[in-house]
Every structure is written in C-alpha cells, then in structure tokens.
Amino acid sequence: MPAANNKSYCSIAKSLVGFLLLFVQISSIVQAQPGSGINMDDKLKSGLAANARIGDYLGSLMDSCIQNGVMGVDFHLYSIPFSDHTDDNDPKFKGEFWGKWYTSAMLAYGYQPEEAYKEIIDVSVKEILETQEKDGRISSYSREKTFDMWDIWGRKYVLLGLISNYEQTGNKKVLKAAGRLTDELIEIAGPGKTKLTETGLEVLGSMSSTTILEPVVLVYKHTGEQKYLDFAKYMVAQWSESNAYTDRGMMLIEDALEGVPPLKISSPKAYEMMSCYEGLCELYRVTGDQQYLDAVERFARSVIEREIMVVGSGSSAELWFDGAYRQTELLEQPMETCVTVTWMKLCYQLLRLTGDPLWADQMEVTLYNALMGAMNKSGDWWAYFSSLAGERMPSPMQVPQCNSSCCVANGPRGLLLTPLWSVMQNEQGPIVNLYNQGEWSVKLKNGHETRLIQETTYPQEGVVVITIEQDGDMEYNIGLRIPQWSKETLLTVNGESFPVTTGEYANIHRNWSDGDRITLHLDMRGRVIQAPGSVNDLAVMRGPIALALDNRMVESAGYNLWLHADGAVWHHKDELGGVDYVLPDTVSESGAVKYIQLNPVKEKKEEVWMAFEVPFLYRYTHFFGHEVRPLVMCDYASAGNGYSEENLFRVWIPQPLFMNDIFPEQTWKILYPGDIRPEFPETSNESITGNSWEDHNH
Ligand SMILES: [Zn+2]
C-alpha cells in the first residue's frame, strides 16, 4: 500500500503527467447471460457496429484512426508491463495501455470486421492471458507492490479489455480469465481485507482504484455469479464510509443526488470521477436500484451546468474547476482528451439507460468539436490538452515504453463509439441520433431488416435525406433526434409534413415501404452564445459546430470590432439627420437565442473543414461611420490545426474585440510549463505529411 501521499495536485500533475481512463461498451453480439439478479432493459439499444458505414469527413477520420492509429501500433508493447511488472518503476501507469488500446481495437474490429484485425485482437488477448498468474492475478506491478499507485487502475483496464473481447466473440475462456482476475481481487480486497478506497493515490481520493467497479459488474452480468455482485455492492458501500484518506467518505452517490457541484465531490479528478459513475450505471443495470441511475443523471446534469464548455468538454489540469464559468479565461491545461472521451462515454450510458436525446445532443457537440479537434489528421496521435484560445499542441510522449500517452490511448475510444450510438434501436424501431452521410442496417423486432441510407453533407449543411431500403412493406417506428438548438425544423416523409418538437425525438410510426424518403431540414442559422456568468464574451455556433477565429484567415489590425448579431441596429434617422446610428447589442436577454448571418466561404483553405464570413461591426466613432466588416471563422476542430506556434485561434470573442490583440501567443507554456514545446513523435505521420486530412483519406 502506498504511504499517505501529501503531494499537492500540482506536483502530482507534474510527476504523473498523464494517465487517464476510460472503457467502452461494445454492441453486444453475445447477449448478456442474466444471473439471478435483474437486468434492466436499456431504453435504447446500441446499433451493431458492423451494420453501420459512416461516410464523409467523420468517416474518413474514423478510417484514419483505425488504420494508422489503433491497428497501426506496436501492440506487443502493451502486455510487457504485465509480464515484467515494469510499473514497479516510473512511469507507473503503463498498465492502463493494454486495456485502453484493446477496447479501442474491439470497437475498430466491431466496425470493420476484417481478418487482419481479428488476428491482432486474438494475438493480443493471448499475450495478456499468458501473464495471468496461478491465482488469477494480472498486474503490471510485482506482488510486493500490490495496491501501489495505479495497480488496480491498470487491472481495471485489463478487465475491460477482456470483457470487450467476450462481448463480441463469446469466447468463454476469456470470460473465465476475467472471472479469475476478479476472484484474486476479491481475495485481497474483499470484506476484512484491504479496502480499495484506501489504495492508489490519496490525492485522487482513491477514485482510480474504485473505478474497477464497472468491469466487476460486467463480470457479474456475464457470469451470473453472485460473488461478483456482492463485491460490487461492497465497493459501492465503501464510498459512503470514512477511510484513511477521508473522514467524510467519498460520498459519490449522496453528493451527486444533492446536486453538489462536481468540483466539490470527493477528489475533483474529472476523468476518474466520471468513470466511477459509469460503473454505477452498470450496477443499475443489474440491480434496478433507481438511486444509482438518479445519482448519475443528476451528476451529469451538474457537469453540463458547471463544467462543460462551448465545444463540449471540460477540466483544467485534469480537474473539475467550475469551468463553464471560467471558459473565457486563458486556462491551465484545459480539456484533457481523456475527459472529453469519458464525458462522451458517460453520456452514451445515459442515452441508453434513459432514452433522453439530451445526451445525444451533448455527444454530438463533443464529437464534432472537442474530440475531432484533439486528433491529428493522420489518426495516430492526439492532443493531451485543447485550448479555446492560443495554439494546438500534440500530447507529449508520456510513456516511451508503450509508445503512447494517456490521451493518445483514449481518443479512439470516443471516436469509435460513433457506429454504436449514431443509429440505435428501441422496441418500436430504429432511432437516428446522428446525422451524417452513411448507411445503417437495423434488424427489426419482426426479424426483418431495414436499411437507412443518409445522404447529406451535414453538419456542413442542414438538409438530411434518409432513404429506406427493405423488402416489402413493414409497420414500425423511426425516431429522429431533433436537436435542442434546431428551433425551426422541417420534417417530411415522401413530401408529407410531420410535426416536430425541439429537443425530442420525432417519432414517425407508419407502414414503411422500400424507397420511402425522409427529409429533414435542420436550423443551421448562426447562433450567438453568451458566455456564462457576467463576462461580456460571445461565441458563434452553427448547428452543433462552434466557430473560431484563426490567424490563417484573420489579420490583426488597430481597431475594434463588435460581433453584429441580427436585430442589433436601430435607425435614428430623424434625430440624426438621416445617418444610421447603431447601438451594438452585445448582451443577450437571458435565455433568448440571437441569430447571426453566416455566409459560407467558397474558396476556403484546404485544411479547413468549414469556413464562414461572419458580420462584425466597425465603429469609426460611437455614433457615426459604422460599417459591417466580415471576418472569416472556421469550425473549432479545424482551428489551429497547423499545430505550430504561428497558427493561433480563439473561440470566445470579447466585446469589443481589439483586433491588435486577438490571439494569445506562446500558450503552449501554460499547457506545458517548462522549456520544451511538445512535438509530434517521429512515428506520427503528422510530422511527415502536414495537416491536410485529405492526404490520409484512403
Ligand atoms: Zn489523458
């Protein structure tokens, strides 16, 4: 056991730069084997990844991520920490890489079930199982160092990896190994033994260790053996007890239910905390205990209110920090990619459990902004932190022994979820969550198959056409997510209008025929977003996309500009002798949406996905000489993707915007204190091929 650790968060952050987490649910080909307990039905079931084909820009990024990233790595490196117990020595989180990578590899293989990928997942699971000791133990630490630092954390990822294999392959040998690994854990951390809440890093309030709740519940779900459920409940009970690290106890359920701000719950380590709540979702599934789901839902709503920034992620230096209210500042180490991914995974849990499209709304914004912006265009490397102003930087190489970093290993786990939640299913039929060019086939309750063909350039444009392909006529429902931001939406089926409600699913129940066409017009007007709190900064969103100023398209100049939303002009012709007198209307009324005219840039830079001319207002003097001077803004994911000290961007726009001081420079120093600016590793294609994603689109 580690001695009580008195390091501050700051020194911990320095000494452990990186480690993070996640796990993934795979669409189950193998049905859960119910134990003696309850198995709550998900309101929405995941799509089968192999039945989805995602196209367009998003699809090409996924392809790159799979080919160059997940399936292009030297995965043999990831089992070495377990065969040689190399986490006895720094950096001590090498044990997280096998499971992070393996769950990504299973997602990739589920989506693209190619023989070469099957071989990779088979070889790798064999390698990890060969490290299993006689009593079931699999650890990246030697036995003497059991419970040290990231021991249980690493085992958590191993378990998740093994379960992801079992859920797709049905390989009982792998499930058995997962059971034995859990048996040994119960042996050393069960009742009367070491409490997991007193292991791992004290500064994290032991949350890293107790995140193992999630796979322990999954082992129960698939084996039906009561001892695993008992152990899971025992772990959760410990959250409410005082321990050597905290007199008060972690109180993850009680505090969540009371709406305590995430910053004030236990240790504010964002990614670990969300992982604990992911485990609670799994525990709800097998127990039906409503307070577990209520706690997670309440917590996630607190995260939206207090932490999630305009591009769909949060955290500073890996911690919650009331970031929604501070996102206009120059932040220390904002939006760790592990947080971005775990937020998506938690939303994915809630989407399945509640069927509330709110969670898909959140996932869409995160996917198209924070997550996409964090991946390099060749798909083999990711950012550690991503700013809302300044420059983009790749993650440093944290763990040369594994040729990876926490966020590099985690990023694919968010991106490759897309096939699972883009089109889901309930009892009545398919549910479309994500609009994007692609094809999905869905097996209906009657055993027949229907195919949904999406033709669209969304989110570049707002028109989505979905064509039904199937044999004969069948009666069922198709649910279509109407995003909260889409205030004016048109939905037709074969030309006939259907009413919709913003923020809900539009359910079309009818007798569907081959060739039926659904046409959806989403509201792609530019929206002016007011910064939370009293800060007079504005941002511009278009559909799910946050826009940014980028210095490749905007030059500095010695004057002020004001963002010029619709309806901001008053004419006082009589009083002022026929001259327009303009009052910049900078602050929205609470809750009111302000719109702004955006004109697509026809000849945009190749490396930029979307670019628009946005009207800003120039004021020669406060009363007179006003004119509109458009600035070009691009999508956040493209902003700064030159990954250089020269390529600067910003999202939030102060009112007024002093054009001489738009882009903060040298921001890499508040992300990576010290003298070394991170570069892409030599192994990354990014360093060779520059930043044009189309080069990598095979
Ligand atoms: Zn990370």
Give the per-residue pLDDT at 68: 96
**Weakest-pLDDT range from 352-361, 538-547, 627-636, 671-680:** 671-680
CA–centroid distance, 198 to ligand 1, in Å, is 23
CA–centroid distance, 32 to ligand 1, in Å, is 31
Q: Residue 484 — very low, low, confident or very high, per pLDDT cuts 50/70/90?
A: very high
Q: Are 65 and 443 in contact (CB under 8 A)?
A: no
CA–centroid distance, 555 to ligand 1, in Å, is 34
CA–centroid distance, 359 to ligand 1, in Å, is 22
Give the per-residue pLDDT at 203: 84
Give the per-residue pLDDT at 626: 77
Tokens coding 542: 């278009």
Q: Is the pLDDT of residue 51 over 90?
A: yes
CA–centroid distance, 188 to ligand 1, in Å, is 29
User: How large a percentage of the chain has pLDDT more than 70?
Assistant: 88
CA–centroid distance, 317 to ligand 1, in Å, is 10
CA–centroid distance, 411 to ligand 1, in Å, is 9
CA–centroid distance, 21 to ligand 1, in Å, is 7
Rounded Cα gap, residues 365 and 459, in angstroms: 11
CA–centroid distance, 142 to ligand 1, in Å, is 25
CA–centroid distance, 396 to ligand 1, in Å, is 11
CA–centroid distance, 662 to ligand 1, in Å, is 29
pLDDT tens profile 533-575 = 878 899 999 999 999 999 999 998 999 998 888 866 555 555 5
pLDDT tens profile 342-390 = 999 999 999 999 999 999 999 999 999 999 999 998 999 999 999 999 9
Rounded Cα gap, residues 24 and 27, in angstroms: 10
CA–centroid distance, 451 to ligand 1, in Å, is 37
Residue with the larger pLDDT of the pair 482 and 696: 482
CA–centroid distance, 157 to ligand 1, in Å, is 14
Strand (E) or helix (H) holding 473: none
Q: Is the pLDDT of residue 65 over 70?
A: yes
pLDDT tens profile 240-256 = 999 999 999 999 999 99
Rounded Cα gap, residues 244 and 463, in angstroms: 57
CA–centroid distance, 383 to ligand 1, in Å, is 9
User: How large a percentage of the chain has pLDDT more than 90?
Assistant: 81
Q: Is the pLDDT of residue 532 over 70?
A: yes
Residues contacting residue 565 through CB under 8 Å, at least 6 positions apart: 528, 585, 594, 595, 596
Average pLDDT, the chain: 90
Encoded amino acid at 58, one letter:
L
CA–centroid distance, 319 to ligand 1, in Å, is 11
CA–centroid distance, 167 to ligand 1, in Å, is 26
Q: Which residue has the tokens 């700013």?
A: 387
CA–centroid distance, 487 to ligand 1, in Å, is 36
- Beta partners for residue 451, in sequence order: 441, 469
Q: Is the pLDDT of residue 624 over 90?
A: no
CA–centroid distance, 407 to ligand 1, in Å, is 4
Rounded Cα gap, residues 240 and 659, in angstroms: 53
pLDDT tens profile 570-597 = 555 555 555 566 665 555 555 678 899 9
CA–centroid distance, 345 to ligand 1, in Å, is 14
CA–centroid distance, 20 to ligand 1, in Å, is 5
Q: Is the pLDDT of residue 129 over 80?
A: yes
CA–centroid distance, 196 to ligand 1, in Å, is 23
Rounded Cα gap, residues 159 and 138, in angstroms: 9
CA–centroid distance, 670 to ligand 1, in Å, is 17
| Main-chain dihedrals φ then ψ at residue 423, nearest 5 degrees | -130, 120
Q: Which residue has the tokens 């006939």?
A: 496
Q: Residue 22 — very low, low, confident or very high, per pLDDT cuts 50/70/90?
A: very low
Give the per-residue pLDDT at 11: 38
Give the per-residue pLDDT at 2: 36
Encoded amino acid at 29, one letter:
I
CA–centroid distance, 239 to ligand 1, in Å, is 24
Give the per-residue pLDDT at 585: 59
CA–centroid distance, 343 to ligand 1, in Å, is 12
Give the per-residue pLDDT at 3: 35
CA–centroid distance, 677 to ligand 1, in Å, is 18
CA–centroid distance, 395 to ligand 1, in Å, is 9
CA–centroid distance, 209 to ligand 1, in Å, is 17
Q: Are 506 and 491 in contact (CB under 8 A)?
A: yes
CA–centroid distance, 428 to ligand 1, in Å, is 39
pLDDT tens profile 130-162 = 999 999 999 999 999 999 999 999 999 999 999
Give the per-residue pLDDT at 138: 98
pTM of the entire predicted model: 0.92
Mean pLDDT of 416-438: 98
Q: What share of the chain is helix, strand, coil (3-state, %, to 5)?
A: 35, 15, 45
Q: Is the pLDDT of residue 620 over 90?
A: no
Rounded Cα gap, residues 433 and 422, in angstroms: 5
Rounded Cα gap, residues 460 and 41, in angstroms: 36
Q: Are 482 and 500 in contact (CB under 8 A)?
A: yes
Residue with the larger pLDDT of the pair 584 and 440: 440
CA–centroid distance, 539 to ligand 1, in Å, is 27
CA–centroid distance, 683 to ligand 1, in Å, is 19
pLDDT tens profile 84-115 = 999 999 999 999 999 999 999 999 999 999 99
CA–centroid distance, 410 to ligand 1, in Å, is 7
CA–centroid distance, 527 to ligand 1, in Å, is 31
Q: Is the pLDDT of residue 618 over 80?
A: yes
Q: Is 627 helix (H, G, I), strand (E, B) or coil?
A: strand
Rounded Cα gap, residues 218 and 39, in angstroms: 11
CA–centroid distance, 408 to ligand 1, in Å, is 7
The CA-atom distances, in angstroms, between 106 and each of 113, 122, 423, 681 are 9, 10, 19, 25
Mean pLDDT of 630-658: 96
Helix/strand/coil (H, E, C) string of 661-697? CCCCCCCHHHHCCCCCCCCCCCCCCHHHHCCCHHHHC
CA–centroid distance, 341 to ligand 1, in Å, is 9
Q: Are 254 and 215 in contact (CB under 8 A)?
A: no
Q: Residue 7 — very low, low, confident or very high, per pLDDT cuts 50/70/90?
A: very low
CA–centroid distance, 440 to ligand 1, in Å, is 32
Give the per-residue pLDDT at 321: 97
CA–centroid distance, 567 to ligand 1, in Å, is 43
Q: Is the pLDDT of residue 17 over 60?
A: no
Residues contacting residue 92 through CB under 8 Å, at least 6 positions apart: 16, 141, 148, 149, 150
Q: Residue 676 — very low, low, confident or very high, per pLDDT cuts 50/70/90?
A: confident
Give the per-residue pLDDT at 16: 37
Q: Residue 685 — very low, low, confident or very high, per pLDDT cuts 50/70/90?
A: low
CA–centroid distance, 22 to ligand 1, in Å, is 10
pLDDT tens profile 182-229 = 999 999 999 999 999 999 988 888 899 999 999 999 999 999 999 999
Give the per-residue pLDDT at 154: 98
CA–centroid distance, 368 to ligand 1, in Å, is 19
CA–centroid distance, 338 to ligand 1, in Å, is 4
Rounded Cα gap, residues 450 and 430, in angstroms: 9
Nearest to 149 by CA among 185, 214, 96: 96
Rounded Cα gap, residues 434 and 423, in angstroms: 7
Residue 669, Cα to own-chain centre: how many angstroms? 25
CA–centroid distance, 336 to ligand 1, in Å, is 6
Rounded Cα gap, residues 48 and 30, in angstroms: 11
Nearest to 60 by CA among 642, 638, 693: 693
